[in-house]
Chains A and B, each alone.
Chain A
């Protein structure tokens, strides 16, 4: 992975949380789910920058 992209992800906390598949009793479930979705989207775009 590009170091710059890795830095941006780290700066935004990616790596500090796990993708959430657990029960909704986790109070941060929705935010963490949003976060993972955004991470996936960003990663896909980085792989296909012309998109």
Chain B
């Protein structure tokens, strides 16, 4: 029987940290819990009959009476009609299509790919805006990018009676589409009330071109929301939804959805925008290669260790002005025995946090320990346990840290893709044996948010985050 352990079962339970009032805590403005900051989960499905949804289609819908709002549209005051709080949209590079189309990708890290070191590594994308058009058609170009996967999917949230609702329980998907094909989703709500918010979660394998809205309607950036940065390994990878591509969409729980991976689930659970900043294969001592790397290591394709010199600088360069209400750094099993001891891990994490502090002295940070991959035993003294203790102790000591989450013992067992049946881990890990399937995403991220909600940040920080202005890219 699968077992999900409660916090009481954990040897060193996750805890709210208050040393030094991290994340700007202790300021004159007072503090607020992240649970109070979060706008709230977006899990309700649009009521029956309220929405006409084409799903993802390759045939262009009839666009008579519609007007196109391109991804790089600029309003007269220089702002974008899209909310870009967590985004870094750039024109797709030359050579990505013939001729290169006007379309964008979301580039949130400095990563490129082993076989294409000069090209940026796209991330999943949020397309968020407000319009009084009752019909919206989102236009994208499908591409296989850095994967051979032909499948694509997209989730959409739509404001309905003041609440953000999911267009469908599962993301719209298409099992196979040619690379380079146009891909649309045509949505019409059944009433025509004034402005409503639309929020698409778009796979990294789709280049965003723009949205079609009814002529005469007004489109503008949706109101700001708190922003969470999501950093770590391939579980928070900018591109991680492709990992279980071979699973197709046959089983909604055992499959993996590109638009419903860990970072996108964080959006659904919190109602916050999320900056995707993970690097696959990395940890505090692992820069996605063999051996042990220091904080200055940088591979040819931009891989480096957690909060490395380059990653901290890259985050600062792209996202400093966003004033995230929380910066999560999660994991990693990739460190295995590389740290050598808890003391070494603690020292490395503290070094990372000090570097973060030089860039943003008020950034509220939450550290999450190594995953339970391979069923390590908390307190058992293995490499991952040593790492867990080192990360935990660093979090307890550093003023920036507002919390530590220990998820090592949330599950039991090993295996993947539902086998063996008595392993909770096997129910949550996809066919590649490494990454969360949809059930895993929902279970693990849901629980992370439950812990996250307890941590406190300063009201000043929240206000700074909400003051961001989305300028046209």
Report A's interface with B, CB cutoff 8 A. Answer: 5, 8-9, 11-13, 16-17, 24, 27-31, 33-35, 37-39, 41-42, 44-46, 48-51
Q: Chain B: which residue is nearest A41 at the CB level?
A: B147
- Residues on B facing A (Cβ under 8 Å): 113-117, 144, 146-148, 179, 234, 243, 280-281, 283, 286, 288-291, 299-301, 303, 333-334, 336-337, 373-375, 382-384, 414, 432-434
Query: Given contacts A17-B290, A34-B280, are A29 and B374 in contact (CB under 8 A)?
Result: yes
Kindly state the separation between the CA atoms of A6 and B193 in the bound complex, as whole angstroms.
Answer: 58
Partner of A46, one of B115, B289, B290: B115
Cα distance, A5 to B300, chains bound together (Å): 11
What is the minimal beta-carbon distance from A3 to any residue of chain B, in angstroms?
A: 13
Looking at the complex, which one of A12, A17, A27 makes contact with B337 (CB distance below 8 Å)? Answer: A27
Q: When the two chains form their complex, are residues A38 and B374 in contact, meaning their CB atoms are under 8 A apart?
A: no
Chief secondary structure at chain B's binding surface:
loop
Q: How far is the CA of A45 from the CA of B147 in the complex (A)?
A: 7
How many contacts between A and B, using CB within 8 angstroms?
Answer: 85
Contact A41 B434 (CB under 8 A): no
Is the Cβ of A27 less than 8 Å from the Cβ of B383? yes
**In whole angstroms, what is the CA distance A48 to B148 when docked?**
9
When chains A and B are docked, how far (Å) is the Cα of A16 from the Cα of B289?
Answer: 10
- CB contacts (< 8 Å) of B291 on chain A: these are 13
Closest 10 CB pairs of A and B: A13-B290, A13-B289, A27-B336, A42-B114, A31-B334, A28-B336, A51-B144, A24-B374, A46-B115, A27-B337
Question: Which chain A residue shows the least CB distance to B371?
Answer: A30
Whether A12 lies near B179 (C-beta < 8 A) is no
- B281 contact from A34, A44, A49, Cβ within 8 A: A34
**Known A-B contacts A28-B336, A34-B234, A37-B434; A12 and B383 likewise in contact (beta carbons under 8 Å):** no
Complex interface: chain B residues within 8 A of A24 (CB)? 374-375, 414
Chain A residue nearest in CB terms to B333: A30
- The answer to whether A41 touches B148, judged by C-beta atoms less than 8 angstroms apart, is yes
Chain A residues, CB < 8 A from B116: 45
Taking each of B115, B243, B281, B375, which has the highest tally of chain A beta carbons within 10 Å of its own beta carbon? B115
Q: Is the CB–CB distance between B146 and A16 below 8 Å?
A: no
A8 touches B373 (CB 8 A): no
